[in-house]
Amino acid sequence: MFSKIRETGLGYSLQILFNRVVPCRLFRCRRFLILELPEPPQTASRPLPDLVYRWAETAEEFQQAQQLSGVNKLPSDSQVRLAIAVKNQQVIGVIWTAAEVFPESELGLHYEMRPGNFWFFSTCVHQDHRRRGVYRNLFAFTANQLRIEIPTSRFWLAINPDNQRSMQAHLAMRVRPAARAFSIRVTRMAKARTTPYENYQLKLLRKGTWNCWKNPLRVKIP
Ligand SMILES: CC(C)(COP(=O)(O)OP(=O)(O)OC[C@H]1O[C@@H](n2cnc3c(N)ncnc32)[C@H](O)[C@@H]1OP(=O)(O)O)[C@@H](O)C(=O)NCCC(=O)NCCS
**What are the tens digits of pLDDT across the range 35-58?**
999 888 888 766 678 999 999 999
Q: Determine if ligand 1 sits within 6 Å of the CB of residue 165.
A: yes
Residue 42 has what pLDDT? 82
Structure pTM? 0.94
Residue 47 has what pLDDT? 67
48 CB contacts (<8 Å, ≥6 apart)? 87, 129, 132, 133, 134
- Whole-number average pLDDT of the chain: 93
| pLDDT band, residue 19 (cuts 50/70/90) | confident
d(CA 78, CA 81) in angstroms, rounded, equals 10
Contact in structure between 47 and 72 (CB atoms under 8 Å): no
pLDDT in tens, 144-177: 999 999 999 999 999 999 999 999 999 999 999 9
Its CATH architecture, for the domain 2-220, is 3-Layer(aba) Sandwich (3.40)
- Taking each helix axis from N to C terminus, what angle separates 134-149 and 164-172, rounded to the nearest 10 degrees? 50
Q: Domain residues of the chain, as ranges? A: 2-220
> What is the average pLDDT across 126-151?
95
Tell which atom from ligand 1 comes closest to the C-alpha of 69: 42
- Please count the helices (runs of H) and the strands (runs of E) in the chain: 5, 13
Q: How far is the CA of 80 from the centre of ligand 1 (A)?
A: 23
Looking at per-residue confidence, does 9 or 141 come out higher? 141
In this predicted structure, the answer to whether residue 140 has a pLDDT above a threshold of 70 is: yes
